[in-house]
Structure 1
Amino acid sequence: MAAETPVKSPIQRHMLFAVSACVGVFALLVALL
């Protein structure tokens, strides 16, 4: 998913990090519940 285009701009990198963080937190919540 992230290997489609090289991440050059910090905004894209920040968005990618935010999305991955949200997915990780959601997965952690599901695992705990």
Structure 2
Amino acid sequence: LSTKNKMTTLCLTKSLDSFLASYDSFCTMRK
């Protein structure tokens, strides 16, 4: 369970990172 939990957290963190990155570039583009 612990390992599965860790993997899920890692996956969520990665998708959040890519979301923030694309959001960041979107904001930069609009300026």
Q: Which runs of 5+ in 1 are unaligned?
A: 1-7
- The share of aligned pairs that are identical, in percent, is 8
TM-score (norm 1): 0.70
The number of residue pairs the alignment matches comes to: 26
Bigger CA radius of gyration: 2
RMSD: 1.4
Moved over 6 A (4+): none
Structure (1/2) with the larger helix percentage: 2
